[in-house]
């Protein structure tokens, strides 16, 4: 149930994000979800892509510093309270959210929340126990 995500460290300067997306596009790698966090000096681009190993390889070949981590993809109804329900479950299990980002799928019926938790296995167990749908990378790429 864990989804691989790549994290790309980039200087906080004009054009770096465009370079990364061009490298991925030129290598036929589809971005399914992304998040950018920045500071004054650098940014972290987190990506879920359809071919993690190829993306990691071509980005490294082009001079980018790339890491790989695991996250959890949770599907919720795209309506008021969807995120709140998930976070209440996590809070009740005493699990910290390290970061998260979200996107709405093509149908507009559901949203997908991407989470990195302090205790990944415990988070999966708590969410499953409450009937929350956890998606695989293949399911995310099919959206």
CATH code, domain with 8? 3.30.2130.10
Task: Verify that 65 and 87 share a domain, yes or no.
Answer: no
- Dist CA 85 CA 61 (whole Å): 42
CA 84 vs CA 63, 97, 116: distances in Å: 40, 13, 16
Boundary of a domain, candidates 12, 45, 69: 69
Cα angle for residues 2, 101, 19 (degrees, 5° grid): 95
Instruction: Give the range of the structural domain holding residue 112, as residue numbers without chain letter.
Output: 71-142
Task: Verify that 53 and 77 share a domain, yes or no.
Answer: no
| pLDDT exceeds 80 at position 86 | yes
pLDDT in tens, 9-47: 988 888 889 999 999 999 999 999 999 988 777 889 999
Portion of the chain with pLDDT greater than 70, in percent: 97
């Amino acid at each position: 149930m864990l989804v691989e995500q790549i994290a790309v460290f980039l200087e906080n300067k004009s054009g770096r994000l465009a370079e990364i997306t061009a490298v991925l596009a030129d290598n036929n790698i589809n971005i399914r979800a992304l998040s950018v966090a920045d500071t004054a000096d650098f940014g972290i681009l987190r990506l879920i892509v359809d071919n993690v190993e190829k993306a990691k390889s071509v980005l490294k070949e082009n001079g980018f510093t790339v890491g790989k981590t695991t996250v959890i993809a949770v599907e919720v109804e795209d309506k008021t309270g969807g995120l709140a329900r998930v976070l209440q479950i996590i809070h009740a299990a005493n699990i910290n959210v390290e970061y998260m980002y979200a996107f709405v799928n093509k149908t507009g019926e559901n949203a997908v929340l991407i989470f990195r938790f302090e205790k990944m296995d415990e988070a999966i167990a708590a969410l499953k126990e409450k009937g929350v749908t956890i998606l695989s990378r293949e399911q995310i790429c099919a959206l």
